[in-house]
Amino acid sequence: MAKKEMTTDPNSEDRGITRRDWVVAARNALIEKGISGVRLRALAETLGVTTGAFYWQYKNLEELLEDVRQDWAVTNTTPFAEAIEASAPDGWKQYLSYVRVLVLEDSFNARYDNAIRDWAHNSVETATVLRDIELTRIHQLQSVFENMGFDTKEAAIRARVTYFHQAGYNAMKIVESREERLANIPYYAKILTDRVDLLGLDTPEKVKTCLLSSSE
């Protein structure tokens, strides 16, 4: 895509690029290349504009990076919160709704989580946001286990084990087909929740159907 010439005209095409456009471009670069790939010139090339267009929207790169942190905090956490809330107060349905978001990944991007965790190693600001969001997610899961009847302490530990297991699964980039992952869910559910309800589902498609029905 050819770059557009920068002008001082407030109605120029460069100014038609929004902050959201920059955030999406930066998010994609972060996921594909890590934080070292989030560079102003490269982002401008991706958007087909000059680097000057950036300064119609932002004072500096750090301001954009903060928007990326907040974008991750919202887009990769809200789907879980909404799914859990929609299935309340039934703890079992809440757990299934959580797993549905996690495994089907229609609204959650595991690679985005991995990219943020990698970035947090050398960014205090990112580490702070990551810590706060991870605590929020664990507390969400604790409420799910409490709604399943576990006492506060046991619910907290089960929430941690569930969350740490999934974070490790994503970080290790386990290679499994969607079918394999679905087929394993009944066994994870038994171990993490003591429920055996799913063990009779003998095909990945049946497990998927069960997960999808959890929000009904």
Query: At residue 1, does pLDDT exceed 70?
Result: no
Three-state secondary-structure class, residue 216:
coil
Distance of alpha carbon 177 from the chain centroid: 19
Q: Where are the beta strands (DSSP E) in the chain?
A: none
Handedness of CA 148, 164, 106, 68 (dihedral sign): positive
Phi-psi region of 86 (alpha: psi -120 to 50; beta: other; left: phi over 0): alpha
Query: At residue 215, does pLDDT exceed 80?
Result: no
Q: Residue 68 and residue 61: Cα distance in Å, rounded?
A: 11
pLDDT tens digits for range 126-173: 999 999 999 999 999 999 999 999 999 999 999 999 999 999 999 998
Ordered by start, the domain boundaries in the chain are: 13-69, 76-213
Nearest CA among 107, 76, 104, 136 for reference residue 211: 104
pLDDT band at 5 (very low <50, low <70, confident <90, very high): very low
What's the whole-number mean pLDDT along residues 106-131? 96
The four Cα atoms 162, 167, 172, 175 give a dihedral, to 10 degrees, of 70
The pLDDT score that the predictor gives to residue 14 is 60
Q: Residue 166 and residue 147: Cα distance in Å, rounded?
A: 21
pLDDT tens digits for range 169-203: 999 988 899 999 999 999 999 999 999 999 999 99
pTM, entire model: 0.88
Q: What is the DSSP string of 54-114?
A: GGGT-SSHHHHHHHHHHHHHHHTTHHHHHHHHHTTT-HHHHHHHHHHHHHH-SS--HHHHH
Q: Residue 40 and residue 9: Cα distance in Å, rounded?
A: 22
Q: Residue 40 and residue 73: Cα distance in Å, rounded?
A: 22
Does 3.40.190.10 match the CATH number of domain 13-69?
Answer: no
